[in-house]
Every structure is written in C-alpha cells, then in structure tokens.
Amino acid sequence: MKKWNKKKARRWLSACLAGLMVSSLAACGGKPDSVNVLPKEEEEERLVNLFSPMEKTDPNAENVARNACDLTIIMAEERLGTKMVYRTYTAESYQDKTYDDVTLDRARHNMDDIYLLNPDTLLILGAEGKLMDLSGLDNVKNLREIVRVANTVDGKLVAVPQEVVAYGLFVNKDLFDQYELPLPETPEEFLECCRVFQENGIETPVGANRWWLETFVFAQAYADLYNGGNTEAEIAALDRGETRYSDYMRPGFDFLKELIDRGYIDAEKASVSEAIEVERPDFLVGKTPIVMAYWGAANTETAYGKTDFEMQVIGFPSSRGPMPVISMTGFGIGAEAEHQEDAADLLNVMLSDEALQIYSETNRVISPSKNVKVDCVPALQPLNDRIEEGIYVLGANAGMNVEQWGNTCLIVRDLLNGASVDECMTAFDELQNAALER
Amino acid sequence: MKKKPGKRLKLKRPSFFLSIVLVFCILGTIVTGISRKITQEMSAAAVQNLSESLDLIQCTIEAIFRSQAEFQMLIAQEVARVESPEAYILACERNKSMAKMSLILSGETVGVSNDGEPFDAGSLDFSGGGSILDLPVSRSYVNYLGAWAYTIQCPVERDGKVIGTLYGEYIYDAIDASLPNGFYNMQACIYVMDAESERFVLKPKGMGQRNAGHLNLDDFYRANDIQDEQIRAEVKGCLSSGKNILFYHDIQGVHALNYMWPVNDGTIFLVGYVPVEAIQQEGRTVNQSILIVVAAMLTAFMLCVLLYYLSWRERDKIRKEREEERKIHSQQLADALQAAQIASESKTTFLSNMSHDIRTPMNAVLGFATLLSKEAENPVKVREYTKKILSSGQHLLSLINDILDVSKIESGKVVLNFEKFALNDVISSVDAIIQPMAAARGQSFHLSVTGVRHEYLIGDETRINQILINLLSNAVKYTPENGQIWFRIIGLKQRSNQYEHICIEVEDTGYGMTPEYLKTIFDAFTRAENSTTNKVQGTGLGMAITKSIVEMMGGTIEVFSEVNRGSLFRVELELRILEGQDSRQFWERWGISRILAVDGDPESRENIQALMNDSGIQLDILSDEKKADAWIKSGAEYQLALLNWEVHGTAAVKQLREALPDTVPILLLAEAGADLNEALSIKRVSVLAKPFFVSAFQEKMEEIWSEKDAEVPAEPDSGGLEGLHFLVAEDNEINAEILMELLEAEGASCEIMENGRLAVERFQQAAEGEFHAILMDVQMPVMNGHQATQAIRALERKDAKRIPIIAMTANAFAEDEKAALDAGMNAHVAKPLDMELLKRVIRQYVR
C-alpha cells in the first residue's frame, strides 16, 4: 500500500512537472492576433436615462429603498444588456424648483426616457399625452386593480409603481405609554393626545414637512368615500360637479388649522422643511412623538428604520378610525423618449413578479403585483392590518378629474403660510371648476 | 576524541533552518522594498496621471465653453448684420448644446427668445459666474428644460455701437457628450459643481459610479464623512482661490484620492474621488506579478528542496538499511564466530574434563586391578580393592550415562515414558539416595511435602527421579559440610482438574553461584569450577540435562543463587492425575473406618487432610494430645492413630497409648534418622517416615497387620541362582566370560552362543526345560537379539512362548527397553551388569 502510494505520488509529481513545463513553453510561444495594440472596442452600449429624485445621505448608511430599486434595475440590465443611466434632482430648499417641477420640464422636453413620477405629475403628464401607454407591457397583467385604476389617465396606463406607498403616522409608543395615552384613532383623540403632550412639555407634538401634511386631509376627506361602499358613484358625482371637493376637504383642513392654531404643528417650520429632513432628528431623540411618513421609511435606516424606542405606524385619524393613505410613485416612459423601446423592455423586467419579489423582500413593502406578498416589520403591523382589512383612502386617483396629491399639497402649503380654510376651499372649487371646463 | 555524528547533525539542523529563514527574510525584505518602491512610484505616477486626466477634462470643458462663447460671438455678429435681429433670433433653433438664444435690444428690458417667449434677463445672476473670452457667464440654474444651465452674455455691436445683448443658454448636459466614456474603469466619481452655489450641476454619466447621487458639496462631504476640519478648511481655501486640491480620504470604506479641480478660473469645479486601488491598478498588477514570480520561485525552490530532501531521505534510508544489514551480518558473523569459539572451547574443555574425569576412575580401576592381581591371596585386600574398583566403575558409568543423555537430548531422540507412579515412591527413592549422601557430609537434609492433593500421577518417573537426583546431588555436592539442604514438594493451585501442579524446590546453604555463571548454568559442558582444580567431580551436564527434561515435560526451571549464601532451584511441573485410585476398598478390607491424627503442625494437618480426603474414612485431626484424650474419652472409637512425633514427642505417644486401647496401632510420623527407640518401645507403636503419603501409610498398615496376623508367608530367599541353566547370546567374548563367571559364582550355568542365529538354533535343539531362561544381547552379528527373540517366539514349541528371555544390552535407554519388550522379551537389564538386579529379574521370571 505504502509502495503504491509512493508510486502514485511520483506519477502525480511527474505529471505536474510535465504540465508546468508545457504551460511554460506555451506561455512563451504566444503570438498576438493583430498588430493593433489597442483593445477591441466593445459593442456600442445601449443606454436608457432614468430620471429620479435622490435622498440626502448619511455616511456609510445603506439606503434600502434605493438598493431595492437598484437590484431590479441590475436584473433588467443583465437580462437585456441595456444600461440604465441615472439622472437625479432634488430641491435643496423650498426656494428651488421642486422635483415635480423639474420632472414636468424634463418630460415635456423629452430629456429622459424613464421618469419616476409622483401622482400629480403623472396625471398632468398623462393628460398632456407626454407618457407612453404601458398597458402593452407583459408584466402589467399582474398588477392589482387598485394600482391599475390609480395610474390610468384617459384609458392609458401611464405609470406603474414598484411599491404601493402607504402613508401613516409614525408614533413613539414609549412616549404614549409614558403619558398613558392610547394610540389615537379619531381626530378628537389625536387632539387630546397632542394636548397632553404639550402640557407635558412637548411643545410641538407633530413633526411635519411641506410635503405630507395633506395625508391628514385625505384621511378625513375620503374615509367615507373610499370605505362607504359607493366610491364610483361619489367620484362620478365629483367629476360631474354635482358634489364639491371642498365639501370633502373642509373637515381635514379645519383639523389641520386647529393643529396649527394650537401649536401642535409648527406651520412656519413645516412650510420650508423637506420631507424627513427636519422632523427626523427630533423624532429619533424622542422630542417629537408623532411624524408622518411613507411605509418604506420604517425600513430605511436613513429615515426611521432604526429607533431606540418602540415605534408603531398607525393610520391617520378619521371618523372611521385609523386610516392609511395610499399613494403610488410610478415609473413612466416618455411618449417621445429617445430610447423608448429599450426603456419599455427594461421597465417590463423591473415589473416582473421575480423583480418585484426581490424589491418587496429587500424593502419590505406592499407590492403592486397581486402575486407577491411579503411580511412587514412589526412596527408596520397596525397599518398593514388596516390595509389587509381593505380600509384605506387613495391619496391620488387618476380617475378624478382634479389631481389630488399635488394640488392638495400646494393648498396645504397655503394653509401653512397663513391662508384661511375658506380660502383653501375656494382654491379647490376653482380647481374643480377648471376641470369641469376642460 | 571520538566524533559524535548524531549530536553534530542535531546541531546542524537548527542552523540550517535558520539559514533558510534568514535567506527568506532577506528575500522578503528585498521584495517588500521593491514592492513598496514600485507602489510609491506608481502612486506618484497615478496622482500625476489623475492630475493630467483632470487637466484634460478641465481643458475639454473650457474648450467647450470657449467654443460656445465663440459661437455666440459669431451669432452676435450675425445679429448685428441682419436688419431684424429679433427675427433672426426667432429663426434660431434649439440644439443639444444651446437650450435657448435670447436678445434684448439696447434700451429695452424685455427681449425675445428663440422659443418665441419674451425674455427677461432679470432672473439671471452674472455676479459670480466668471467669464469666457471676456464674456460674462451667469450662475448656474435649472432652466425650463429641467436641466442645469448657464447663460453667456454677449454684446451685439454694430458699427462699434452696442445695439443689444445676446443671451445664449447652455445646459451642462452638453458637456457630458464631449467627455471620455469611462473614468478609471467606472470606479471613480466625478461631479461638476457650480462654485458659487456649491451645487452639483452635472454628473457625467460615463464618469463615475452611477448610483451615487449628491445635491451639493456639503451633501457629498457629509455622505462620505469628510468632516476633517483641516481638509474642509483647505477645500474652502481652494474654492475661494480657485486652486486645485488632491487629498486622501476613505470613501465608503475604500481608500480613495479626493479631488477638487477648478474649471474656467474656478467658476465651476470638478469634484469627486478615485479609489486608490483604481489609481494604482498598474502598480498593484506589477506588485502582484512580482509576488507571483516570487511565489513561483519560492515554490520552485521549495519543490527543489523537497525533491532534494526526498532523494536524500531515500538515499539515506538505503544507506542506513545497508549499514544495518552490514551490521547484522557482522554481528551474525561475530556471533557465529564466538559461538564456534565457545563451542570449540567448550568441547575442548569438555574433552579435557572428560579426559580427566574418565581417566581418574579408569586409573583407579586399572590401578586397583593391578593391585588385586598382586594381592590375590589376601582376601581383605581383594575385598577392599574390589570395592574401590566397583566404586570407580560406578562413577565411570554415571559419566558415560550423562554424556549419552546429553547426546540423545541434543539430537532430539529422548522419548518420555509416561506411566503411573506414586509420588511417594519417587520421594522415597530420592530420599533413600540423598539422605545417606547428605548424612555422610554432615549436612542436614529436610524433606517436606505440602499442599499436594493427589499422589498417584502419570509421568516419566525415571526422568523425574533424574531431575530430583541431579538437583539434590548437586546440592549435596556444592554444600559444605554441616550445611543445610531443603527438599520441598509444594502442591500449587491446580490450573486444571486433571493435572496436579507441583513445585519442587531444592535449596541449600552451599557455595552459591556468581551471576555470570547463573546465565550459563543450564548450558551443556559448563561447570562452576574446573574439575582439574576442584574436588567436586561431575560432567557439567547435569543441569543442562535437567533443564531439557523439565522443558520436555512442559515445565519450567529457575534458579536463584548468591555466592556463599546458597542456591534455590525451583521446578514447576504439571502432572496428569491418575483417575480411579480409590483407596476405600483398602480401608474396608482392613476394617478401618475412623482414624485419629494428632498433629500440631498446621501445614502437616492440612496435608494429611488433603491426601485422606477420598479415603472414605472418618479422620479426626487434632492439634494436641489433650484434645485427642478428650475425644477418646468422649467415646470416639478409632482403629488407628497417627501422631507427629517431632511436634509432640514421646510423652504424647505414651499419653495417647494410655488413652487408646492396646489393639489400636499408633503410627509416629517422623523424619528419617530420628531417634525413636524410646517411642518404639511402647506397645503397638510403629513409625511412618515423613512426609505423609497415603500409599506409604497403606504399606505401613499392611506391614503392621501382617505382623499382627503372622499369616503372610515369608519373602522367598533372594539368594543365589543355584541350579539354573541359561542360554546366553553374547558376541563379546569378555562380556560372555564375565557373565559366565558371575553366573557360576551364583551357582548357575550357561551356554554361550556368538550370535542370535546360533542361539535360536541351540534353543531349537534343546529339550524342553533344558534352559530356565535366555539372556539375550541385542547388538550381535548375523542376527540381533530382537530378531532372535522373535524367531524363538515364533518356534512351534510349547516353551517357545513362555521361556523368559531377558535382554542384557548396553542399549540402556527407555526406548531400548521398549523395543526389547516389543520384540517379545520379558525384561531388560542394562549393561554393565548389576548382578543383584539381574538376580532379581531372573527370580521374578524363573520360578
């Protein structure tokens, strides 16, 4: 046995040496294929421009939401051999053009191929015919009906989201427990909580920015419309002018006004604050017990994904209890985009169940695909329970002839800047009238 | 000085390994040094390379700016030439570089743009944008396309008079198209920053990591954790002075070179970073190549070392094997030589000894024979000389027997003759021989038997005798006068029910042996002292024979000895127990059912108990005579009593005699030579020699009862062979004559035949009863004794089958005796003739 092993070892050694010799000789005998020493040019790269906003980042922090989207983009790039080029813009301050403004400009002038669109811009651009009809993409057949409805303008599916964005109130449960306050479900309960907090030294119980206060309004305005069992008829009545948006909106604005008047919201600060940027530090250190944000913020370290206290995400106060507000930020393709075909192919892959599964698992959000389901983090459970019950309001609905999300946002800013509730309602009436005239 | 190769080798190894380690250290230092130098040089080169790259980008952007300014100046000239400048502007179309062209005529605040919209220059800030070819440039802003843009202001002059101002809006995206595709293999990051606002206005798509996105310089530094005060201060200084800066800082955990590079006199900056790894890619490759080469060389070196080592080890192994082989051969040769020399010396010594030992008694025989012939008329002298001749002859015979024994054992011809025997017989016969010898030398001879459970065994009694006599006679020989000799038979724990495990110990207080001699004591032809210088006579073969016999019997022999202290020989044997020896009948026959034994020696008591276990009689063994007296008085009836005389003495005998009825015999267990006169004078007291054996006990009882009954006829007279006539087959005339004389001296007559055939013929011719027996030699010419016996037995005569034929031969071994009996002879008597033995044999067969 020993002899055999030795023999075998010798054979192996001989073989290795022979192999080494042959490879050495082969290495010496190489001959270039061409006299041109320049490396061969690769085939022309197919590029698709994506215009999207960006978040301000912390050092070495991982942006989960961004990563989730990147993963689907990488998947699409690898499948199609097409490269996505990122174009970004984010307003540095309220004085700058907003992302939506810039998006509108760029989309109108065909500066990019794919745009990440907020509900108001997609409605505007869809109405202007600046967006491609995406209903022809293979993977849109998997979309939930609510998603399809919310993104359809004039019968065209103008945008498709990678997540259904649910907005809610992010509350510091420890503080509520400290002051023995139940989590608020109605506007009255919410006011009571704010009162108690304020009495206990928390001067501004609600952290707000200039973007998301309209969610309070939507919750109260459309709680009955979307959950009363007569949604289509009520929307139709609004579209026909038989009912007024201002009638729906008033309670919410009155509520906001009260919050502002009582000092529960710092209107001045909110009117110049970008989303999350200002209210986040106070919320994280426990100075502010309530902020509002989107679902994914609960998973994102750069937002509220890592707190030292027990955080819960609940619906906005309404007559029907906690009310999630759902909105969708979708990808649209320019109707005259330079690389429209490649962009459509990329988006199609990005919207596949496989890609959305990755997205949802990474970001732990509600998927627009009816085939994809992912568990949420514990903090989101209260909000998720309500959505699972089918209780929510839409922050944007392309089926309404008055764009909701953007307009309401702007009118809320007016309120923040000192406008009265009546003035705000007048603004809604004007918008509705203009829509009716169209 | 003797060399110590092993030690030197051990000392050499560490220094050898240290040398290798040193070589590797030097090599490692050199390689590290080279590698570091290359890294530094390549790093410096990379910094230079990065600087050049950034210079190139800077120049490219500035060239674009200049082109745009020149283009705008040309348009301004055209506008100045045309009749309707506004119409000209409206006719201009937007292109990828120019987003908008506007004109405000002198004296007006609002002009016209090529998109047809009115143009108001009030929203443009030319305070911090610098200039291109002396044309003012506005600060960056997001234009109507949603893109970062800047505007160049150019006066429109006609005939040396400014008639208006031309505003050209350019987007930064236009620069992107003119930049190279790929920046440090897309690992780097580059932004174009507006210096005034510190806003990032362009992130060229082919110039860096695509997923990074930052709003402004502050965001960039915060995101990448560039918070060092010194760096921030220097950066600030560069921003204000329009100078460039390169500094190292880790970005996302990657060591990177960060830069700020002014363009167009610092109105915009190139901002970003390049991972050092990307910069030093070539250096790393070179280092990797060096390391690979070094690793390959080291591997090759190690391989060579390994191959050398393997080869050396193989050769060393072969060398060692050969050396070992040579050593073994040399050793074997030396051993063989030594053995041969020893054998030669032993044989020489032996021959010398034998020569001496044989000549000595022979000398006595011949000398006394000579004297006898001279003193034939003097009966006293005749008897004296004859006795001495006989003694010398006996000694000579024992010498010859030993020599022959050794010869037979060595040639493997010895066959053990297993037969039943009584241990008592062996001990008695040995005791009978040794006791007088020891007594003659004034030595105390002690015999003891303990723990033996069976005395009837199967074995070669003769050889066992031989062992014992050898050991004991040596003890007698080598123990000075008045010394002590112990002969112990110890029954050991049986390993099998069928075998008695016996230990025989012979101990003396003799001269003892040196340790050196002990090693060779069992070798043939050795003797403690040279016979030529020692009074002790012997062949030196006794112990060799003893050991051989013991081993043939499956036993062991060992010896312990100290000079002048004595020796102890211990033999262990396992002898098969003879089954079916039931002594019950004997006791029943004599009507003995209960025996009293008085013995104060516990060992002796135990011995008696063990041996009498199967006798079927009630044995009451008591430790003293008083107890015995009490038992007797209590009514116990005994037919026989035993008493250890050495322990209890004559008084106890008397006491016992008084207690027991006169008809009950008392046997005293006593050692040979004990003074028992007084004790034996007591009525019906006899002696039984120690050690106690049932067979001896029975014999003694038979003797006592025989005396008592006086019914047993007296032993036939063992006198001469008067009147007997023998046929003798003997080819040797002298032997024949001696035999004839001896027989005649005993009153018998014989006819001598020279060989077997003649003996057969003579017997055929003889009348029935003419011969009382035939004394047959074995080795004879014509027909040997065996053949002759067979021929006689085969004769058709009535007495052919029954006439006693006694072998009388010098073939004296057991197998010779067996062969004789097998041939049909009745008995075997070895030569030289022992007349007494011959007479006993003849009387046994001739009635």
Q: List the CATH number of the domain containing B531.
A: 3.30.565.10
* Of the listed ranges A52-66, A267-281, A301-315, B22-36, the one predicted with least confidence: A52-66
- B148-158, strands of its sheet edge to edge: B118-120, B110-113, B98-105, B161-171, B148-158, B141-142
Which residues of chain B are within 8 Å of residue A47 when distances are taken between CB atoms?
205
Distance CA B558, CA B550 (A): 11
Verify that B841 and B698 share a domain, yes or no: no
Q: Is residue B358 part of a domain?
A: no
Task: Write down the pLDDT at residue B759.
Answer: 92
Q: Across the interface, do B225 and A109 touch by the CB < 8 Å criterion?
A: no
Distance CA B564, CA A219 (A): 125
Task: Write down the pLDDT at residue A242.
Answer: 94
Find out whether B143 and B100 touch, Cβ atoms under 8 Å.
yes
B-contacting residues in A 53-92 (Cβ below 8 Å): 54, 56-60, 66, 70, 84-90, 92
Verify that B529 and B456 share a domain, yes or no: yes
Task: Write down the pLDDT at residue A134.
Answer: 93
Task: Write down the pLDDT at residue B662.
Answer: 80
A17 pLDDT more than 80: no
pLDDT bracket for residue B608 (50, 70, 90): confident
Whether residue A382 is preceded by a cis peptide bond, meaning omega within 30 degrees of 0, is no
Site from A44, A57, A66, A100 to mutate, B interface, most B CB atoms within 10 angstroms: A57
Non-local CB neighbours of A129 within 8 Å, separated by 6+ positions: A335
B717 pLDDT more than 70: no
- Residue B250's CATH number: 3.30.450.20
User: What share of chain B has pLDDT > 70, as a percent?
Assistant: 89
Higher pLDDT, B402 or B304: B304
pLDDT bracket for residue A33 (50, 70, 90): low
Distance between terminal CA atoms of chain B?
89
Mean pLDDT computed over B671-695: 80
Q: Is residue A384 part of a domain?
A: no
A215 pLDDT more than 90: yes
User: What share of chain B has pLDDT > 90, as a percent?
Assistant: 13
CA-nearest of B188, B242, B191, B241 to B217 is B191
Task: Write down the pLDDT at residue B709.
Answer: 53
Reported as a single tens digit per residue, the pLDDT across B221-274 is 877 888 888 888 888 888 888 888 988 888 877 888 899 999 988 888 999 888
Q: Which helix (H) or strand (E) holds B694?
A: helix B694-709
Which residues of chain B are within 8 Å of residue A107 when distances are taken between CB atoms?
146
Whether residue B180 is preceded by a cis peptide bond, meaning omega within 30 degrees of 0, is no
Q: Across the interface, do B142 and A70 touch by the CB < 8 Å criterion?
A: no
How large is the ipTM? 0.74
Q: Across the interface, do B214 and A57 touch by the CB < 8 Å criterion?
A: yes
Task: Write down the pLDDT at residue A60.
Answer: 53
Verify that B58 and B151 share a domain, yes or no: yes
Domain endpoint, select from B279, B303, B323: B279
Q: Which residue among B142, B215, B252 places its CB closest to the CB of A97?
A: B142
Q: Which domain holds residue A155?
A: 47-164+328-369
Q: Is residue A25 part of a domain?
A: no
* Of the listed ranges A420-424, B56-60, B696-700, B772-776, the one predicted with least confidence: B696-700
Tell me the average pLDDT of chain B.
82
Task: Write down the pLDDT at residue A15.
Answer: 82
Higher pLDDT, B53 or B43: B53
Higher pLDDT, B625 or A131: A131
Which residues of chain B are within 8 Å of residue A104 when distances are taken between CB atoms?
146
Min Cα separation A216/chain B (Å):
30
Task: Write down the pLDDT at residue A58.
Answer: 55
Reported as a single tens digit per residue, the pLDDT across B500-514 is 999 999 999 988 888
Verify that A148 and A182 share a domain, yes or no: no
Which residues of chain B are within 8 Å of residue A90 when distances are taken between CB atoms?
215
Q: Which domain holds residue B741?
A: 725-845
- Residue B42's CATH number: 3.30.450
* Of the listed ranges A190-199, B136-145, B737-746, the one predicted with least confidence: B737-746
Reported as a single tens digit per residue, the pLDDT across B616-630 is 788 888 888 788 888
Verify that B190 and B93 share a domain, yes or no: no
CA-nearest of A218, A55, A124 to B214 is A55
Min Cα separation A57/chain B (Å):
5
Q: Which residue among B146, B223, B224 places its CB closest to the CB of A102?
A: B146
Q: Is residue A303 part of a domain?
A: yes
pLDDT bracket for residue A425 (50, 70, 90): very high
Verify that B155 and B11 share a domain, yes or no: yes
Q: Which residue of A has its CA nearest to B207?
A: A85
Mean pLDDT computed over A426-431: 93
Task: Write down the pLDDT at residue B811.
Answer: 73
Non-local CB neighbours of A254 within 8 Å, separated by 6+ positions: A421
Min Cα separation A1/chain B (Å):
18
Mean pLDDT computed over B333-356: 73
User: What share of chain A has pLDDT > 90, as a percent?
Assistant: 50
A184 pLDDT more than 90: yes
Q: Is residue A156 part of a domain?
A: yes
Task: Write down the pLDDT at residue A4.
Answer: 54
Mean pLDDT computed over A317-327: 93
Reported as a single tens digit per residue, the pLDDT across A364-415 is 788 899 888 888 888 999 999 998 888 999 988 877 888 888 889 889 999 9
Which residues of chain B are within 8 Å of residue A97 when distances are taken between CB atoms?
142, 146
Q: How many alpha carbons fall within 13 Å on the CB side of residue B277? A: 9
Tell me the average pLDDT of chain A.
86
Reported as a single tens digit per residue, the pLDDT across B537-596 is 455 677 888 888 898 888 999 999 998 888 999 999 999 888 776 677 777 777 788 888
Verify that A305 and A421 share a domain, yes or no: yes
Task: Write down the pLDDT at residue B534.
Answer: 44
- A330-333, strands of its sheet edge to edge: A82-88, A46-52, A114-117, A330-333, A160-161
Task: Write down the pLDDT at residue B524.
Answer: 65
pLDDT bracket for residue B639 (50, 70, 90): confident
Looking at the complex, does the CB of residue B252 fall below 8 Å from at least one CB of chain A?
yes
Verify that B443 and B470 share a domain, yes or no: yes
Looking at the complex, does the CB of residue A18 fall below 8 Å from at least one CB of chain B?
no
Which residues of chain B are within 8 Å of residue A109 when distances are taken between CB atoms?
144-146
- Going by their DSSP bridges, the two strands B725-729 and B749-753 should be labelled as parallel
- Residue A142's CATH number: 3.40.190.10
Verify that A234 and A365 share a domain, yes or no: no
Task: Write down the pLDDT at residue B130.
Answer: 83
Verify that B496 and B549 share a domain, yes or no: yes
Q: Is residue A10 part of a domain?
A: no
Verify that A258 and A285 share a domain, yes or no: yes
| C-alpha dihedral, B631 to B637 to B640 to B641, nearest 10° | 10
Q: Is residue B371 part of a domain?
A: no
C-alpha gyration radius of chain B: 66
Reported as a single tens digit per residue, the pLDDT across B775-818 is 998 888 888 899 999 999 998 888 888 899 999 887 767 678 88
Q: Is residue B336 part of a domain?
A: no
Verify that A253 and A267 share a domain, yes or no: yes
Verify that A302 and A347 share a domain, yes or no: no
Verify that A313 and A418 share a domain, yes or no: yes
Min Cα separation A188/chain B (Å):
41
- Total structural domains in chain B? 5
Verify that B750 and B674 share a domain, yes or no: no
B343 pLDDT more than 80: no
- Specify the amino acid at residue B211: N
Domain endpoint, select from B227, B255, B279: B279
Which residues of chain B are within 8 Å of residue A85 when distances are taken between CB atoms?
205, 210
Backbone angles phi, psi at B491, to 5 degrees: -80, 115
Verify that B478 and B436 share a domain, yes or no: yes
Verify that B167 and B188 share a domain, yes or no: no
A113 pLDDT more than 70: yes
Looking at the complex, does the CB of residue A109 fall below 8 Å from at least one CB of chain B?
yes
Looking at the complex, does the CB of residue B198 fall below 8 Å from at least one CB of chain A?
no
* Of the listed ranges A12-26, A224-238, B463-477, B767-781, the one predicted with least confidence: A12-26
Residues paired with B450 in a beta bridge: B490
Verify that A242 and A317 share a domain, yes or no: yes
Verify that A95 and A143 share a domain, yes or no: yes
B46 pLDDT more than 80: no
Q: Is residue B297 part of a domain?
A: no
Task: Write down the pLDDT at residue B711.
Answer: 43
Q: Across the interface, do B225 and A60 touch by the CB < 8 Å criterion?
A: yes
Q: Which residue among B146, B216, B225 places its CB closest to the CB of A59?
A: B225
* Of the listed ranges A15-24, B192-201, B367-376, the one predicted with least confidence: A15-24
- Total structural domains in chain A? 2
A93 pLDDT more than 80: no
Q: Across the interface, do A111 and B224 touch by the CB < 8 Å criterion?
A: no
Q: Is residue B403 part of a domain?
A: no
Verify that A304 and A341 share a domain, yes or no: no
Verify that A124 and A251 share a domain, yes or no: no
Distance CA B644, CA B211 (A): 120
Q: Across the interface, do B147 and A111 touch by the CB < 8 Å criterion?
A: yes
Verify that A279 and A195 share a domain, yes or no: yes
Q: Across the interface, do B146 and A56 touch by the CB < 8 Å criterion?
A: no
Q: Which residue of A has its CA nearest to B304?
A: A17
- Which pair of tokens denotes residue B297? 């060389």
B187 pLDDT more than 90: no
Domain endpoint, select from B709, B733, B757: B709
A421 pLDDT more than 90: yes
Which residues of chain B are within 8 Å of residue A57 when distances are taken between CB atoms?
214, 219, 222-223
User: What share of chain A has pLDDT > 70, as a percent?
Assistant: 90
B499 pLDDT more than 50: yes
Q: Is residue B57 part of a domain?
A: yes
Q: Is residue A189 part of a domain?
A: yes
Reported as a single tens digit per residue, the pLDDT across B324-336 is 999 999 888 888 8
Mean pLDDT computed over B815-839: 83
- Residue B677's CATH number: 3.40.50.2300
Q: Across the interface, do B210 and A85 touch by the CB < 8 Å criterion?
A: yes
Higher pLDDT, B598 or A92: B598
Verify that B610 and B704 share a domain, yes or no: yes
Verify that B816 and B702 share a domain, yes or no: no
A-contacting residues in B 96-155 (Cβ below 8 Å): 142-147
Q: Is residue B796 part of a domain?
A: yes
CA-nearest of A257, A58, A48, A280 to A170 is A280
Q: How many alpha carbons fall within 13 Å on the CB side of residue A203? A: 3
Q: Across the interface, do A105 and B144 touch by the CB < 8 Å criterion?
A: yes
Which residues of chain A are within 8 Å of residue B211 when distances are taken between CB atoms?
66, 70, 86
